[in-house]
Amino acid sequence: MKILLTLHNCTPEPMFGAERICLQQIRSLIRAGHTVGLFYACNGKISSETLAAEGLSGLHLFPNSYVRTKAQVLLSAWKPHVAARFRRVIRAFRPDVVLFHHLVRLSLDLPSVARQEGVRTAMYLHDYYSVCPSYSLFNAARSICHDASPADCVRCLYESRFGRKIPGALVPVLTPFMRLRERMADRLVDDIDLFISPSTSLLFELGKRGFHMRRSTVIPHGIDKAATSAPYSPHKPVRFGYIGNINRKKGIEVMVKAFQGDLSKLLTIRGFADTGAIEQFKKDNPSCAARLEQFHKDTVDFYTEVDVLVVPSIWLENQPTVLLEAFAHGKPVICSRLGGMEELVKDGRGGLLFQPGDADGLGQIVRRLASNPSELSALAASIPRLPTSDEYTRAVMNAIEGLRL
């Protein structure tokens, strides 16, 4: 089968959860003998050596340059030149199906183009982009958004990007662009044949906000392989770790408050953009003695140096790849009882849950595990079996094959 995927970002630029899931899927498709193309936004070039190193040899690349701007979400609503190129790629590549992983930096009307060209379409849902310009339903007031007008979205998007309130005169200027984006996003339910989500939570939240998909299915993410076969043996003292973006919706402030005093010495935080970000964090949190590290795509050394992963998010996470990575490395987790996280982590099975935003509750769990490392061994032993990336990709392809009926 010929499969064309879309993605908002790719190597050599920094890649996070959605990008890694997409490339994992591409590797599995290539291994299964499919012909695969990638229509993506990226300003850098991918060398053949990089493709080989990433297990992507044979991948057909269709890159699209883009303008780096904090107004990317509004600009991505409709890009006629990107849609025109997408149509040319479909006619030349002739895919049997287009699997959309993301449309930001591209154009929201690409599914319409595929439908006009008579190609089956599926969309893999990574976040709330179809109903929320900020992807996360986490607004500038630092709470989960339940209802917002286009003008509200303009204010929220501006404040979340620039860290200050929007000048009043800009709201009526930008609101028509937000309405356009809203109309384009609403068309996705008609242009996409199948929506695929790794969690039921994501589908539920989208439906609550009026995004009613004609056909959807839940297929949890897979992992490339078990990262370790070594028996779990927690270090003494217990080592806690956080890895990911350093921002408010990830619950960084909650975690810092939970790891007070000497407890912070047991914590490693990885994900800072550069040394300047680390120094700023130290200034903002002078009592935090955690080990602070810059982002690095190779995470093996991180999981080798921690005994338990902390995921304190206060937004409706879908199915964070860090949870899968921790389980693949045989590490239990402590995470918020929220979104798709509590579908993957059951309290006492592979990890422990606490109420989102409850620093005291998280702190109690941390102190208990620090004093009783044997409890971690029991949690590690109860980590659920995860599907492999090939099993997950076969499930996705079986769902897409069903579109022929």
272 lies in the same domain as 348: yes
pLDDT digits (tens, 9 = 90+) for 106-139: 999 999 999 999 999 999 999 999 999 988 998 8
> Higher model confidence: residue 11 or residue 171?
171
Together in a domain, 185 and 249 = no
Average pLDDT score over the chain: 92
- φ/ψ region of 365 (left if φ > 0, alpha if ψ in -120 to 50, else beta) reads alpha
Residues 347 and 400 in one domain: no
What is the average per-residue pLDDT within 215-223?
90
DSSP type of residue 293: E
* Same domain, yes or no: 342 and 400: no
For residue 405, pLDDT over 50 is answered with: no
At 169, is the pLDDT very low, low, confident or very high (cuts 50, 70, 90)? very high
Q: What integer is the mean pLDDT of 265-292?
A: 95
Cα distance between residue 111 and residue 23, in whole Å: 20
The reply to whether 278 falls in a domain is: yes
Looking at residue 223, what is its pLDDT?
A: 81
Asked whether residue 233 is domain-assigned, the answer is no
CA distances from 337 to 17, 136, 353, 362, 370 (A): 20, 16, 5, 11, 21
Whether 256 and 160 share a structural domain? no
Specify the CATH number for the domain of residue 289.
3.40.50.2000
Looking at the fold, whether 312 and 166 belong to one and the same domain comes out as no
For residues 386 and 48, give the distance between their C-alpha atoms in angstroms, rounded to a whole number. Answer: 31
Q: What is the pLDDT of residue 308?
A: 97
Same domain? For 97 and 204 the reply is yes
235 part of a folded domain: no
Q: Are residues 264 and 375 in the same domain?
A: yes
Shared domain check, 395 and 295? no
Domain range enclosing 247: 240-381
Q: Is residue 232 part of a domain?
A: no
SS3 assignment, position 155 = helix
In a domain, 327, yes or no: yes
Does 231 map to a domain?
A: no
What pLDDT, in 10s, does the model give residues 145-165? Answer: 988 899 999 999 999 888 899
**Mean of the pLDDT values across residues 230-243?**
89
pTM, rounded to two decimals: 0.90
User: Does position 270 have pLDDT exceeding 50, yes or no?
Assistant: yes
d(CA 222, CA 20): 11
Range from 5-9, 66-70, 152-156, 357-361 carrying the lowest mean pLDDT: 66-70
Helices (H), 141-212: 150-162, 170-186, 188-191, 200-208
Q: State pLDDT tens for residues 75-99.
A: 888 999 999 999 999 999 999 999 9
**Residue 190: strand, helix, or coil:** helix
Q: Looking at residue 227, what is its pLDDT?
A: 58
Task: Report yes or no on 331 lying in a domain.
Answer: yes
Q: For residues 329 and 229, which has the higher predicted lDDT (pLDDT)?
A: 329
Pair (104, 246) in one structural domain: no
**What is the length of the chain?**
405
Tell whether the model's pLDDT for residue 362 goes beyond 90: yes
State mean pLDDT over 34-56. Answer: 91
* Residue 225 pLDDT grade (very low, low, confident, very high; cuts 50, 70, 90): low
Within-domain flag for 229: no
Helix (H, G, I), strand (E, B) or coil at 173: helix
Query: 206 and 59, same structural domain?
Result: yes
Find residue 389's DSSP bridge partners: none
3-state helix/strand/coil string of 365-399: HHHHHHHCHHHHHHHHHCCCCCCEHHHHHHHHHHH
74 pLDDT exceeds 90? no
Give the per-residue pLDDT at 228.
60
Total domains, the chain? 2
Model confidence at 226, pLDDT cuts 50, 70, 90, reads: low
pLDDT for the residue 319: 87
Read off the pLDDT of each residue in 278-284 and give the average, rounded to a whole number. Answer: 96
404 pLDDT band, cuts 50/70/90, is low
Q: What is the CA 403 to chain-centroid distance, rounded?
A: 26
Q: With b meaning 16 or more CB within 10 Å and e meaning fewer, what string describes 354-364?
A: bebbbbebbbe
Share of the chain above pLDDT 90, in %: 71
Same domain, yes or no: 205 and 245: no
